Copies of this chain bind each other. A is one copy, B any other.
Amino acid sequence: ADQSAMGRARERQAQLTKPAGALGDLEELSIRLAGIFGKEKPHPRGVAVIVAAGDHGVAQDGVSAYPPEVTPMMVMNFLADTPGGAGGAAVNAIARTVGAKVYVMDAGVNAELPDHPRLHRHAVRRGTRNLRTEPAMTRQETETLVLAGAALARTAIQDGADLLIPGEMGIGNTTPAAAVTARLLNADPQRVTGRGTGVNDETLARKVQVVREALNRTPTTDPLDVLAEFGGYEIAAMLGVMLQAAASGKAVILDGFVEGSAALVGAELNPALKDYLLPAGECAEIGHAAQLAHLGLTPMFNLGLRLGEGTGGVLAAPLILAAAATLREMQTFAEAGVPGA
List B contacts of A339 (CB < 8 A): 67, 69-70, 73
Out of B22, B90, B197, which one reaches A330, CB within 8 Å? B90
Q: How large is the interface on A (under 10, 10 to 19, 20 to 34, 35 or more residues)?
A: 35 or more
List B contacts of A114 (CB < 8 A): none
List B contacts of A337 (CB < 8 A): 73, 76
Minimum CB–CB distance from A222 to chain B (whole Å) comes to 34
A-B contact pairs, 10 of them (CB 8 A): A19-B65, A19-B66, A19-B307, A24-B304, A69-B339, A73-B338, A77-B331, A84-B328, A90-B330, A318-B319
Out of B22, B76, B82, B89, which one reaches A305, CB within 8 Å? B22
Q: B67 contacts A329, CB within 8 Å?
A: no
List B contacts of A305 (CB < 8 A): 22-24, 26
Q: A82-B331, A88-B335, A336-B80 are in contact. Are A19 and B306 (CB under 8 A)?
A: yes
Minimum CB–CB distance from A75 to chain B (whole Å) comes to 10
Complex: chain B residue closest to A336, CB-CB: B77
| A52, B56: Cα distance in complex, Å | 56
Q: A325 contacts B93, CB within 8 Å?
A: yes
Q: B322 contacts A94, CB within 8 Å?
A: yes
- In the complex, identify which listed stretch (A103-111, A133-141, A262-270, A295-303) lies at the interface while the others stay far away: A295-303
